[in-house]
């Protein structure tokens, strides 16, 4: 679900969303939306939600108010479907043939997913722990640095901007030498507005996430100390190291859910390949290779 959709949902009705997500079996036939003469029930919407991507379903779980937009989308699709049916669009020969292919593909994929799905209890605790130990290095979190900055824009080659930037930088350094609070100076003078609102704080960064041009200056600071101005192509950066975190390894409890999902996906892929292999072994395919060039020639 993209950011523009989220903005449209700012005033979405949470009551509708919560009632849908919590609807009991008894209320499953309750009408939750209507477009033209078409009504949509909680059962239909729930079934539609199950067809959404995992990321969209996760977004709904995190913010149920987003379900209002899902209902709107579903209603719009129902309106399109009704119009297509009224015009008997599905009965056109070319469309019917395409629908048959789509149905066959969908049925094949759904069946493959069913026969490949790992058992509910997989993976067990021992298998999750073994996977964690085997991939422990991938869960390492490197040393992190909490950095703040005061940024003064002065693009190289723009003489006027450079002169203005130098004057402002002089004001920054003067105030810092007078022991002014770094966060206060950042809020008042830094031209990177997002971090300026937080007193210049950029956040926690691993070494490789720090811009190469200022990395050496940032890593060379002691906790609570301020760097000399660092000149980059976009302007001047004055840095302060707020804190550091020692390297660590994420605990099994933190990554268990992701590991379970990964192991189930891997097992499903293996099951699928095994099923297809056995099916082809039992039903060896026969292909008339001589006809293939003719098919390609017609396609052209």
- What's the confidence (pLDDT) of residue 62? 87
Mean pLDDT of 73-81: 91
Measured distance CA(300)–CA(297) in Å, rounded: 5
Which residue do the tokens 């950095």 mark? 147
Q: Pick the more confident residue, 47 or 3.
A: 47
Coil, strand or helix at 185: helix
Whether residue 112 is predicted with pLDDT greater than 90 in this model: the reply is yes
Name 271's Cβ contacts closer than 8 Å, sequence gap at least 6.
115, 116, 117, 118
CB of 173 within 8 A of CB of 261?
A: no
CB of 165 within 8 A of CB of 154?
A: yes
Mean pLDDT of 201-214: 93
Mean pLDDT of 273-288: 95
- What's the confidence (pLDDT) of residue 299? 58
- What's the confidence (pLDDT) of residue 79? 92
The two three-digit tokens of residue 45, written as one number: 């919407």
| Residue spans per domain, the chain | 3-87, 143-246
Mean pLDDT of 94-109: 96
Whether residue 74 is predicted with pLDDT greater than 60 in this model: the reply is yes
**Bridge-based pairing state of the strands 230-232 and 235-245:** antiparallel
- What's the confidence (pLDDT) of residue 1? 43
Whether residue 198 is predicted with pLDDT greater than 60 in this model: the reply is yes
Instruction: Identify the helix (H) or strand (E) that includes residue 123.
Output: none
Cis peptide before 123 (omega within 30 of 0): yes
* pLDDT tens, position by position, 219-269: 999 999 999 999 999 999 999 999 999 999 999 999 999 999 999 999 999
Mean pLDDT of 192-202: 96
CB of 134 within 8 A of CB of 262?
A: no
Report how far apart, in Å, the C-alpha atoms of 100 and of each of 46, 62, 86 are: 26, 37, 19
The two three-digit tokens of residue 144, written as one number: 């992190």
Measured distance CA(161)–CA(145) in Å, rounded: 31
Largest CA distance in the chain: 87
- What's the confidence (pLDDT) of residue 90? 95
Report how far apart, in Å, the C-alpha atoms of 6 and of each of 47, 54, 65, 284 are: 22, 17, 10, 51
- What's the confidence (pLDDT) of residue 176? 96
- What's the confidence (pLDDT) of residue 4? 36
* pLDDT tens, position by position, 5-30: 333 333 333 333 434 444 434 455 78
* pLDDT tens, position by position, 126-168: 999 999 999 999 999 999 999 999 999 999 999 999 999 999 9
Report how far apart, in Å, the C-alpha atoms of 94 and of each of 58, 98, 298, 299 are: 38, 6, 18, 16
- What's the confidence (pLDDT) of residue 155? 94
Report how far apart, in Å, the C-alpha atoms of 109 and of each of 33, 49, 105, 115, 177 are: 31, 19, 6, 10, 68
Indicate the CATH number for domain 143-246: 3.10.50.40
- What's the confidence (pLDDT) of residue 28? 56
């Amino acid at each position: 679900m993209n950011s523009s959709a989220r903005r449209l949902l700012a005033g979405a009705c949470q009551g509708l969303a919560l009632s849908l997500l919590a609807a009991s079996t008894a209320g499953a036939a309750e009408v939750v939306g209507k477009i033209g003469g078409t009504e949509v029930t909680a059962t239909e919407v729930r079934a539609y939600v199950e067809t959404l991507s995992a990321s969209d379903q996760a977004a709904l779980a995190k913010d149920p108010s987003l379900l209002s937009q899902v209902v709107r989308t579903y209603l719009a699709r129902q309106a399109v479907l009704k119009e297509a049916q009224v015009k008997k669009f599905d009965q056109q020969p070319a469309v019917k043939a395409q629908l048959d292919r789509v149905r066959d593909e969908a049925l094949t994929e759904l069946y493959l997913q069913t026969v490949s799905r790992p058992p509910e209890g997989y993976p067990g605790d021992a298998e999750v722990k073994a996977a964690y130990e085997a991939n422990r290095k991938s869960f390492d979190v490197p040393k992190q640095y909490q950095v703040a900055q005061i940024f003064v824009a002065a693009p190289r080659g723009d003489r006027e901007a450079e002169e203005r930037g130098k004057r402002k930088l002089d004001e920054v350094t003067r105030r810092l030498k007078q022991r002014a609070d770094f966060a206060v100076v950042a809020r008042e003078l830094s031209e990177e507005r997002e971090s300026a609102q937080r007193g210049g704080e950029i956040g926690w960064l691993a070494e490789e996430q720090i811009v190469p041009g200022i990395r050496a200056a940032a890593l060379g600071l002691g906790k609570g100390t301020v760097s000399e101005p660092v000149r980059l192509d976009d302007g001047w950066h004055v840095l302060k190291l707020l804190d550091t975190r020692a390297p660590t390894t994420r605990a099994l409890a933190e990554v268990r859910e992701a590991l379970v999902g990964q192991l189930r996906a891997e097992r499903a892929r293996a099951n699928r390949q095994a099923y297809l292999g056995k099916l082809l072994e039992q039903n060896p395919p026969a292909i008339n290779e001589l006809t293939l060039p003719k098919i390609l020639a017609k396609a052209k």
